[in-house]
Amino acid sequence: MGEELNRRKFLTYVGTGVTALTVASTGLGAFTPTVEAKGAKAASHLFGRKKKVSGLNFTPIKPTDKDDLVLPRGFKYDVVAAYGDVINKQGDTFGYNNDFTMFFPMKGSNERGLLWVNHEYTSDLWVTGPKSKDGTYTKAQIEKLLYNQGGSIIELYRDEEGVWKMDTTSQFARRITGLTPFKLTGPARGAKAVGGTDVVQGTFANCSGGKTLWNTVLSAEENYESTSEAASLNETHYGWIVEVDPFNTSFAPRKHTALGRFHHENSAMGLTNDGRVAVYMGDDKTDACVYKFISKNKYIKSRKQANSALLEEGTLYAANMSKGEWVALTLDAVRKKAAGKQELLEKFQTQADVLVHAHEAAILLGATPTDRPEDVEISPFDKSVFIAHTNNSKHGNIHGHITRFLEANDDLGSLTFDFEIFACGGRQSGFSAPDNLTFDSGGNLWTVTDISSSSVNKGVFSSFKNNGVFVIPTSGKNEGDAFQFASAPVEAELTGPCFTDDETTLFLAVQHPGENTEDINNPTSMWPHRKGDNQPRPSVVAITGFKY
């Protein structure tokens, strides 16, 4: 990195008041000299999070097209749950195409806890069977379609040999599916815009998500159209952020309409400087916007799960990146823009209409259409906000990039921001199509890639081989450089990376291995290569071997 670039970066940080330039070592000790953590004390004071490790040690792997989850030397994975596995005494089974995972420790343990897992979509070949000639599913097929999406709550533990396993005797293990009733909260609850209802059927298309400050899970409904259409369900009941308490069945599963309806990728929650809740969200579509919700009221820790009400009232904003402004999606503003356009004035009559058609409202108000904003994560070190823009071939952005928002005054409640491009996909960086993100306590951004099954290993994607996991330091000498940690099985996407609190285990969901299979007798992948099995299975793994 040149002196000029270093200087520019330094000025950027000083200019926005961010203290993180020297906060954290980059980790990756095997090949990265440790940077003195001059600001670490201030950072852990500010964000309540101490750096737990002095540096991650691994030798990066090379791209590979092997039909396995390939890890650096010294690491191993245990398959903890695969499609169809029984998860509890009632005989419920693990859904298809696992995505986001979130670990909820039991009694603070790093070796026993509940894992929430999203199930994003199914497969005609492996789950429902094909549609009839008229393009419809039978009733039994629709049940399979709905049952195998949503979420799984499974209980996991690490045995004496250090192997992670599922505890199927768990009293907590259960399924949340496309058949589970959900209550609506917020402005669109009972509104005409959602057919006047306050209870809806099920959740599906669950892509990524997040954890709340009060220990519940938020799961994001993304590409809901095909399922709602196939099952003849009202599509305005889908495309929301849903909330579930993995430990507590009396906490009614709910959809928070105040956070808007679009193709939700995930949610990242933090606190504004005055104690309100801010939730950042991506909308995974080409030419879609980045959103932020800010609650009206303040977070009060002692209220525990009752803080869920914070997600019922507040303001939804979308990012105008040309002006560096968060634009409030209010009915007044939308109607002002719609003046003279009868069709729009009819569409947007209430705040519920604005939330149900959030993307259209955002564009109308000047929010910036971007290149598939997927995962969004808030840096625990400096509160900058990282957004994976997966790609957008319409703009020639074939390999995607990661954007970093710097909120004014480092306040998640600010309505102005600056931004920079943190890292770019392509041959030069070694990764393409960044998707889910998570941080480790060394300040490294763990990034999974999602080159589509139709493109992977072909043409300009050849050099990347299979999808992977990359580790990208967010400060220090290697800031923005990507080091490959894992390679996915054939035609799989790696999703939902989640560390245990002590960072000795990384959970990862391996989605759609063998997705291009046309003949079930000749699958393109057989991962996870279970003895006696005759098909590939989306599965969640626990990766261990981290040494500090």
C-alpha pair distances (Å), 4 with each of 10, 11, 422, 507? 10, 10, 16, 39
Q: How far is the CB of 375 from Ca ion (least distance, A)?
A: 7
Distance of alpha carbon 42 from alpha carbon 192, whole angstroms: 49
Q: Name, in order, each residue with C-beta under 8 angstroms of 109's C-beta and a sequence gap of 6 or more.
A: none
The option from ligand FEO, Ca ion, none interacting with 120 (CB < 5 to 8 A, set by class) reads ligand FEO
Report the residue number whose CB is nearest to Ca ion: 450
Distance of alpha carbon 392 from alpha carbon 483, whole angstroms: 24
Based on CB atoms, which residue is closest to ligand FEO, 67 or 450? Answer: 450
Which DSSP string do the residues of 211-258 spell out, in sequence order?
Answer: E-TTS-EEEEE-S-HHHHHHTT--GGGSSSEEEE-TT-TTS--EEEGG
The option from ligand FEO, Ca ion, none interacting with 407 (CB < 5 to 8 A, set by class) reads none
Based on CB atoms, which residue is closest to ligand FEO, 353 or 374? Answer: 374
- Cβ burial 265-304 (10 Å sphere, 16+ → b, else e): bbbbbbbbeeebbbbbbbbbbeebbbbbbbbeeebeeeee
Q: How far is the CB of 291 from Ca ion (least distance, A)?
A: 16
The option from Ca ion, ligand FEO, none interacting with 440 (CB < 5 to 8 A, set by class) reads none
Question: Is 203 in contact with 151 (CB distance < 8 Å)?
Answer: yes
Based on CB atoms, which residue is closest to Ca ion, 206 or 487? Answer: 206
> Is residue 243 part of the contact set for Ca ion (CB under 5 A)?
no
CA nearest neighbour of 153 among 89, 104, 120: 104
The option from ligand FEO, Ca ion, none interacting with 222 (CB < 5 to 8 A, set by class) reads ligand FEO
CA nearest neighbour of 151 among 231, 216, 226, 234: 216
Based on CB atoms, which residue is closest to ligand FEO, 315 or 452? Answer: 452
Q: Name, in order, each residue with C-beta under 8 angstroms of 131's C-beta and a sequence gap of 6 or more.
A: 124, 137, 141
Displacement of CA 384 from its chain's centroid (Å): 17
Q: How far is the CB of 54 from ligand FEO (least distance, A)?
A: 34
Based on CB atoms, which residue is closest to ligand FEO, 403 or 441? Answer: 403
Q: How far is the CB of 190 from Ca ion (least distance, A)?
A: 31
- The residue range among 140-148, 235-243, 443-451, 505-513 that interacts with Ca ion, by the rule CB under 5 A, is 443-451
- Residues in contact with Ca ion, shown as a per-residue x/- string from 389 to 428 under the rule CB under 5 A: ----------------------------------------
Distance of alpha carbon 119 from alpha carbon 538, whole angstroms: 10
Based on CB atoms, which residue is closest to Ca ion, 68 or 450? Answer: 450
Distance of alpha carbon 87 from alpha carbon 153, whole angstroms: 8
Based on CB atoms, which residue is closest to Ca ion, 207 or 355? Answer: 207
- Residues in contact with Ca ion, shown as a per-residue x/- string from 193 to 232 under the rule CB under 5 A: --------------x-------------------------
CA nearest neighbour of 351 among 294, 313, 307: 313
Which DSSP string do the residues of 506-536 spell out, in sequence order?
Answer: EEEEEE-TTTT---TTS-S--TT--TT--S-
The beta strands (E) that lie in 60-134 are given as 76-82, 98-105, 112-119
Q: How far is the CB of 208 from Ca ion (least distance, A)?
A: 5
Q: How far is the CB of 206 from ligand FEO (least distance, A)?
A: 9
373: cis peptide before it, omega within 30°? Answer: no
Neighbours of 510 (CB within 10 A): 29
Q: How far is the CB of 60 from ligand FEO (least distance, A)?
A: 25
Q: How far is the CB of 488 from Ca ion (least distance, A)?
A: 13
Neighbours of 8 (CB within 10 A): 12
Q: Name, in order, each residue with C-beta under 8 angstroms of 301's C-beta and a sequence gap of 6 or more.
A: 213
> Is residue 435 part of the contact set for Ca ion (CB under 5 A)?
yes
Based on CB atoms, which residue is closest to Ca ion, 243 or 450? Answer: 450
Based on CB atoms, which residue is closest to ligand FEO, 265 or 312? Answer: 265
Based on CB atoms, which residue is closest to ligand FEO, 374 or 481? Answer: 374
Based on CB atoms, which residue is closest to ligand FEO, 270 or 373? Answer: 373
Based on CB atoms, which residue is closest to ligand FEO, 94 or 262? Answer: 262
Q: What are phi and psi of 259, to 5 degrees?
A: -90, 5
> Is residue 371 part of the contact set for Ca ion (CB under 5 A)?
no
The option from ligand FEO, Ca ion, none interacting with 243 (CB < 5 to 8 A, set by class) reads none
Q: How far is the CB of 265 from ligand FEO (least distance, A)?
A: 5
The option from Ca ion, ligand FEO, none interacting with 245 (CB < 5 to 8 A, set by class) reads none
CA 167, 168, 174, 179 dihedral sign is positive
Q: How far is the CB of 352 from ligand FEO (least distance, A)?
A: 25
Q: Tokens standing for 7? A: 């200087």
Q: How far is the CB of 536 from Ca ion (least distance, A)?
A: 19
Based on CB atoms, which residue is closest to ligand FEO, 193 or 448? Answer: 448
- The residue range among 50-58, 110-118, 445-453, 457-465 that interacts with Ca ion, by the rule CB under 5 A, is 445-453
Q: How far is the CB of 390 from ligand FEO (least distance, A)?
A: 7
HSE value, Cβ hemisphere, 13 Å, CA-based, for 536: 29
- Binding residue (CB under 5 A) for Ca ion from 243, 450, 479, 481: 450
The option from ligand FEO, Ca ion, none interacting with 68 (CB < 5 to 8 A, set by class) reads none
Q: How far is the CB of 318 from ligand FEO (least distance, A)?
A: 18
Residues making contact with ligand FEO (CB under 6 A): 120, 207, 222, 265, 284, 374
- The residue range among 134-142, 176-184, 444-452, 525-533 that interacts with Ca ion, by the rule CB under 5 A, is 444-452
Judged by the rule CB under 5 A, the positions of this chain that interact with Ca ion are: 207, 435, 450
